[in-house]
């Protein structure tokens, strides 16, 4: 190959490599730097949320607590603290951190975006409840204040997220729920769940698996140092006190306790049995709830269990003359009164 042509090819290759690496908005180096900036901002915002959470629970945020909460090294936590202090978002006194007014405003803005996004996922999408928190953890860093305002308007400016956590207003105002940990309540009092704590993840997953959510009424039947036994309708639940502490409840006046039989989950009925719908679970939200109502599954509707598939799931139900297949997890969210003598023939 002639040397001039070889030199031209080398020059062209260098230009191409330079374009791939450094070209604005598309170059590898540019994108790497942008990703690094986003990652740094996420850590800063997560640190602000952690400090705000500690202040709310009357705990002392420290370098060690930040490192533990964000799963980073102490050196990284120290770097984040320096940046937050430099930006006048926190003050450091005797090794403890305190939010400044701008820092508190920033933290509440991120929390507002998180809780609005959880409410959106619950009411407008088909995402599973176990996915709401992780999805919101990502999108809370992407929503601008204007986008958060638009989302709030779209959702009707909700005051609480699907877990019962208060959603700060655009000006940062909100009131904490008045709930008391279930583990602190005495047996035989009528109670209503108003909040489910979604952290730590392991305990939250257990509460989701139990099918618990805000809006449910319950009564404690047994309380010991080892367990708390309570009933929601005809369903029994048993939790360790440390798990039950993540459920906040309020006591209901006796006159507000529903007199309607709470019923049992439709999923407990066998082929040949029937039940009358008395309620849809509060866990049935958004698109899934609308779909059930569109199918005619409303309080007062009689549902006949026709047959179960060979695998055991789904099951075919006759609803208003139509044969409809429901999975077990769907039928579990429909409460029915299954006393044959009280149902129409």
HEC profile of 143-206: CCHHHHHHHHHHCCCCCECCCCCECCCCCCCCCCCCCEEHHHCCCCCCEEEEEECCCCHHHHHH
Average pLDDT over residues 116-124: 90
Residue 293 pLDDT class (50, 70, 90 cuts): confident
Query: CB-based contacts of 261: which residues, under 8 Å, 6+ apart?
Result: 278, 337, 339
Query: Average pLDDT for residues 198-212, to the nearest whole number?
Result: 87
State the CATH architecture for 264-342: Roll (2.30)
pLDDT at 256 over 80: no
The pLDDT value given to residue 342: 54
Residue 170 pLDDT:
86
In sequence order, what are the beta bridge partners of 334?
A: 280
Which tens digits make up the pLDDT trace of 22-67? 455 454 444 434 344 447 889 999 999 999 999 988 899 999 999 9
pLDDT of residue 14: 52
- Domain covering 180-256 in this structure, CATH number: 2.30.30.90
Q: How far apart are CA 157 and CA 328, in angstroms?
A: 33
Q: Is the pLDDT of residue 161 over 80?
A: yes
pLDDT of residue 98: 93
- By percentage, how much of the chain surpasses pLDDT 70? 84
* Amino acid 193: pLDDT: 93
Residue 291 has pLDDT above 90, yes or no: no
The two three-digit tokens of residue 337, written as one number: 């009164």
Q: Compute the mean pLDDT over every residue in the chain, rounded to the nearest whole number.
A: 83
Is 325 in a helix, a strand, or coil? strand
CATH architecture assignment, domain 28-99: Orthogonal Bundle (1.10)
What is the per-residue pLDDT for 215? Answer: 85
pTM of the model: 0.70
Tens-digit pLDDT profile for residues 72-98: 899 999 999 999 999 999 998 887 899
- Asked if 303 and 317 count as a contact pair (C-beta separation under 8 A), the reply is yes
What mean pLDDT is predicted for residues 308-333?
88
Q: What is the mean pLDDT of residues 6-28?
A: 54
What pLDDT does 7 receive?
58
* Residue 247 parent element (H or E): strand 247-251
Q: Is there a shared CATH topology between the 180-256 domain and the 264-342 domain?
A: yes
Averaged pLDDT for residues 87-116: 93
Helix axes 101-124, 145-154, angle to 10 degrees: 40
pLDDT of 33: 42
Structural domain boundaries in the chain: 28-99, 180-256, 264-342
Query: How far, in Å, CA of 233 to CA of 258, rounded?
Result: 11
Q: How many Å apart are CA 246 and CA 200, to the nearest integer?
A: 9
């Amino acid at each position: 190959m002639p040397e001039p042509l070889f030199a031209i090819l080398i020059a062209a290759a260098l230009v191409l490599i330079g374009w791939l690496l450094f070209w604005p908005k598309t170059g590898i180096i540019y994108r790497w730097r942008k990703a690094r900036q986003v990652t740094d901002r996420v850590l800063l915002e997560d640190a602000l949320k952690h400090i705000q959470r500690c202040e709310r629970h009357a705990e002392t945020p420290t370098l060690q607590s930040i490192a533990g909460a964000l799963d980073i090294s102490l050196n990284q936590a120290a770097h984040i603290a320096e940046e937050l202090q430099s930006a006048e978002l926190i003050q450091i006194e005797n090794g403890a951190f305190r939010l400044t007014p701008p820092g508190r405003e920033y933290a509440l803005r991120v929390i507002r975006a998180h809780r609005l996004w959880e409410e959106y996922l619950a009411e407008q999408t088909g995402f599973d409840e176990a996915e709401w928190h992780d999805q919101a953890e990502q999108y809370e860093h992407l929503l601008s204040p204007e986008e958060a305002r638009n989302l709030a308007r779209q959702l009707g400016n909700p005051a609480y997220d699907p877990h019962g956590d208060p959603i700060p207003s655009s000006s940062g105002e909100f009131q904490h729920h008045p709930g008391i940990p279930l583990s602190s309540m005495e047996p035989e009092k009528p109670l209503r769940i108003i909040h489910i704590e979604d952290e730590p993840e392991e305990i939250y997953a257990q509460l989701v698996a139990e099918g618990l959510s805000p809006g449910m009424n319950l009564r404690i039947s047994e309380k010991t140092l080892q367990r708390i036994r309570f009933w929601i309708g005809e369903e029994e639940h048993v939790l360790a006190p440390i798990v039950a502490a993540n459920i906040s409840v309020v006591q209901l006046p006796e006159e507000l306790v529903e007199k309607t039989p709470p019923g049992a989950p439709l999923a407990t009925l066998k082929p040949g049995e029937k039940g009358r719908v008395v309620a849809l679970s509060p866990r049935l939200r958004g698109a899934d709830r609308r779909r059930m109502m569109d199918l005619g599954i409303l309080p007062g509707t009689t549902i006949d269990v026709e047959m179960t598939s060979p695998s055991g799931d789904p099951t075919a139900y006759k609803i208003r003359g139509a044969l409809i297949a429901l999975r077990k997890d769907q039928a579990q969210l429909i409460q029915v009164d299954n006393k044959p003598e009280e149902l129409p023939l």
